[in-house]
Chains A and B, each alone.
Chain A
Amino acid sequence: MEELRKRLLGAEERLNYLIQVKDNREWGNLSGLEEKCRRFKDGFYEIDREELATGIRNLEDAISFLEERCEENLTPMERVRIVRSPLRFTLKDILENVYDDYTELGGEEDANIDPSMMVAKANIVRQVKKRTITQQVMVIGHEKGHGEEYRNGGCSKPWGNEKAMRYMLVAQTEGIPIHYYIFTPGAYPVEDYPGAAQQIARNLYVMAKLRVPMISVISEGGSGGAEAVGMADFRLMFSHGYYSVISPEGAAAIEGKVRAGGQAPRELIEQVAGNLKITAEDNLRFGTIDRIIREPLLGGKRDDFPFFRKIKAEVVRATDEVVLKTKSLRAFRAYELSIDKAEEGAAEPQIDISWELNPDEVERLIQLRSRKYRAMASWAFEGGRKSAYSSFCSGVRHHLARAYYSVRYDILRSQQKMAQQVIKDVSGEGSVFIRRMAAPITSAYDFISRKHDQRPARISQAGGPFACGEAEDLRDGYVSPLANEDRTVTCPNADRHGCKDLWVPDLYGEFCGVCENCGHHFPLEYEWYLRNIFDRDSIREFNADIASANPLEYRGLDGKLKAAREKTGRKSGIITFDARVFGIDIVVAMLYSDFRNGTVGAAEGEKFVRACDQAQLKRRPLLAYVHTTAGIRIHEGTLGVIQMPKCTMAVREYIDSGGLYLVVYDNNSYAGPVASFLGCSPYQFAIRSSRIGFAGVGVIRETTGQDIAPDYHSARNALRRGHIQGIWDRREFRRNLYQALMTMGGRNLYYR
């Protein structure tokens, strides 16, 4: 009887799970089976034992049949429900079953800086030819917990991501591989220091050049939160997991223009989940992941022990692969053969590979990582590809330019610097020697000839274009077409500061869109900046032919892109160009609002990466001016998300090579770009009245359940939290930019 009872309870659990996955009792007569199950439970001791045993067996068979049918036609949204099920395995289950022993770092359970982010030093043991090999790894990942509220559902707070970064650096010091496990619906969107976006950006910046092998495994990959611990050398994904730019519910709310507090219709959510291409197969096809770990029927659960053995084999194999790629080619071939043998037994590879890397191998590892991320989504945009002939020509041009700039900056500049240094030292020594020798004579002369009321002349403070009193008048430059209307507007701060109505021709003409009383900045079109910030006729746009496309074939996006192209006459949401500011050559990447609200997709990411390369090649400072960005373009799914690590990698390489990278935010800057290639800049500034943040008001309210102050994302608050270094007046942008280039870049403006 006891065995029958257990089987009945097991059948009930499977049935409930199936109902939860389908979210529909009518499918496959699940309600009928549920009723049957209830009847067996209620009359367990009354029903004849034979009859009960037959009934339970039939019930189990029916459930098995339905599970197989469900598995065959799993929709993306059903996968989302599997991932969110409380029965699904979590990171703690993996730590207990995949690794031999572990110690949690940076807190335990709820006594933790952020219980949703778990860090553990673990040992992984494998048998190779009757030898036991123990290897240490750092395990970092999200812990959703089984019904533990304090885990926050795996939504890591900024300080949780900071903890992850701290232990990434510990792993680097110790030279041990890192295994990341991603179980997050997204990052917790609070701006408190270190800030959701800024911390993710810092994590990406660190991971770009981390000197140890990294493996990530995705179960629930929710956009930026996933990327915070996802930029690995090898990316695995569970077959029933999802990896997405936004939750299907969030995307449906945007698509359906659902107002705050409302809910998108179920059909729309299902449709959007399909459009976003969030499944493991989709991601493998797009190249955003490297391999899929097959899960048991309807996803792995806490007690699927064979499945944990499989996870162990896969992560060990992935780590081996990453390590072997940095070693000789012959070793890799030998390894390939052993994989084939190993796959038959579904066990970890029977091969002893040390996970320690020598300095040369570390360099190769970083190179491979760079190549991997730079190649991602390179097929997902239009244009920018050349025919064989023009490719050859541009290759030659590129190499010539490289040689020219290497000679100019690396050889001549360093020689010149050395010579200057020697001359400086010699003249310094000489002047001290002469002064000492001549001191008695000069003091006697001074005593005789000095006029007593004479004061030493004041030392000139600064050079540059402002020293000779050059005051540029912005009124002489470009005037916004907004100024052509004969009407007044009200300053939003009129109630607080008593600002008078502003006559539009004055406001957008003489006042440059700034309230004369309180200094509020009204938005201006990006052309105003193009014309008023940089030296006249100095702008040379490049890569203008790279165009945004619709790689996911998202329904309705083609029309929207067409409309944006017609509106702007441009092909993507970013403009990259060479320009000059008071004679200083710089490279600029400008995200602007008119093209799909400055969202970043594959084309924008590629253009940004090429701008970094251009700045690196020409040894020029790089300015990222963000007129507006609403985040990653959700219609490009994970191909958009992947721009975060891709662009951050380019920025890191540019900065490491000696470049000066400045970011200036204007109007609205949110989400993915801020949480990656913008937020990682050491020098970030904002134009007054701009807003900077990770998530908008609605998302914060929905995620945290709290209202936020109206000025939560204001530049002033960003400054207070330490996210930015200063707030600039639009009318002083050009001067401040020059000043920033001079102070941050110093004498060696282009290169350290």
Chain B
Amino acid sequence: MSDDAIDFEEIFAQYRSDPYDYVDVHSIHTGRIRFMVKEGDEVEGVTGQWRHIPGTPLYVLTRERNPKTVHSPTNGTISFVRQDLEGMFTEAGEKIITIRHPLKKREIIDRILRQVLTPFNAPERAKYYFSPEIQSRIDKYGQREVMVNPGDEIMTMSLMKRDTPVFYTGEPGIIHSVYFRPGVTVEQGEPLLGLCSREKLPFIEKIITRVKAEWD
């Protein structure tokens, strides 16, 4: 993606006009539903030092006489509730609630970066580590000084107790963002890294600086 292809102002204006994320909540399985929130209610997400305090209860789904309370995954305001389903039987995967989640500065930067960086996605559902060579270069020079070219052994994929090398296939670039944690399973297709060309780096830095400066 070239600098010209990104309409930076448009992206910015989009977030300025609607700085929210709309999180859809779907029914986790079939069952009789009873809502515990209504439109306009403020809800909290998971909190606590160990993320052990569940969010605000959203609905109770009863199946096989097993009432299951589902909690809010994020904070925000309830913008939509399928009130017509109250007390009714619902199918699995039905969209039942939407939470309007106010985006934080960090989330906006993260989203913009995902738009402008070239992602390197996980080929399998597995645990990933940097290859020893890349890791030593990162340790020595810092993450943003490491250039990767197509064919480089960039990662080690740990799956079913076997370690398989993963080779880079995209455009040459530097590692800007890392989205995985060593030893934590990543779903197939999820981005592992965000890369960009060296020339594009000042442009990306400018975006970050601007968001930091202009956003409340």
A residues 434-486 in Cβ contact with B at 8 Å: 485-486
Give the size of the chain A interface in residues (CB under 8 angstroms): 11
- B68 closest partner in A (C-beta): A490
Contact across chains for B65 and A486 when beta carbons are under 8 A apart: yes
- 24 interchain pairs (CB within 8 A)? A485-B65, A486-B64, A486-B65, A487-B64, A487-B65, A487-B66, A488-B63, A488-B64, A488-B65, A488-B66, A489-B66, A490-B66, A490-B68, A501-B63, A501-B64, A501-B66, A503-B64, A707-B48, A707-B49, A709-B49, A709-B50, A709-B52, A710-B50, A710-B52
* Chain B 166-199 near chain A by CB (<8 Å), digits 1 or 0: 0000000000000000000000000000000000
* Chain B 37-67 near chain A by CB (<8 Å), digits 1 or 0: 0000000000011101000000000011110
Q: How far is the CA of A608 from the CA of B65 in the complex (A)?
A: 42
Which residues on the B side are within 8 Å of A710 (C-beta)? Answer: 50, 52
Which A residues are closer than 8 A to B by beta carbons? 485-490, 501, 503, 707, 709-710
Q: How far is the CA of A657 from the CA of B191 in the complex (A)?
A: 65
CB distance from A482 to the nearest CB of B (A): 14
Which residues on the A side are within 8 Å of B63 (C-beta)? Answer: 488, 501
Which B residues are closer than 8 A to A by beta carbons? 48-50, 52, 63-66, 68
Which residues on the B side are within 8 Å of A503 (C-beta)? Answer: 64
Q: How far is the CA of A329 from the CA of B186 in the complex (A)?
A: 79
Q: How far is the CA of A487 from the CA of B62 in the complex (A)?
A: 10
- A710 closest partner in B (C-beta): B52
CB distance from A505 to the nearest CB of B (A): 11
Instruction: Give me 5 other A-B pairs in contact (C-beta within 8 A), A485-B65, A488-B65, A501-B66 excluded.
Output: A486-B64, A488-B66, A501-B63, A709-B52, A710-B50
- B29 closest partner in A (C-beta): A501
Q: How far is the CA of A447 from the CA of B68 in the complex (A)?
A: 75
Which residues on the A side are within 8 Å of B52 (C-beta)? Answer: 709-710
CB distance from A521 to the nearest CB of B (A): 19
Q: How far is the CA of A503 from the CA of B68 in the complex (A)?
A: 14
Q: How far is the CA of A490 from the CA of B64 in the complex (A)?
A: 11
Q: How far is the CA of A428 from the CA of B52 in the complex (A)?
A: 64
Q: How far is the CA of A468 from the CA of B130 in the complex (A)?
A: 50
Which residues on the A side are within 8 Å of B66 (C-beta)? Answer: 487-490, 501
Q: How far is the CA of A707 from the CA of B68 in the complex (A)?
A: 27
Which residues on the B side are within 8 Å of A488 (C-beta)? Answer: 63-66
Q: How far is the CA of A487 from the CA of B50 in the complex (A)?
A: 32
- B69 closest partner in A (C-beta): A490
Q: How far is the CA of A488 from the CA of B48 in the complex (A)?
A: 29
CB distance from B70 to the nearest CB of A (A): 10
Q: How far is the CA of A257 from the CA of B66 in the complex (A)?
A: 29
CB distance from A707 to the nearest CB of B (A): 6
CB distance from A345 to the nearest CB of B (A): 62
Q: How far is the CA of A409 from the CA of B157 in the complex (A)?
A: 62
CB distance from B49 to the nearest CB of A (A): 6
- A490 closest partner in B (C-beta): B68
- B65 closest partner in A (C-beta): A487
- A500 closest partner in B (C-beta): B29
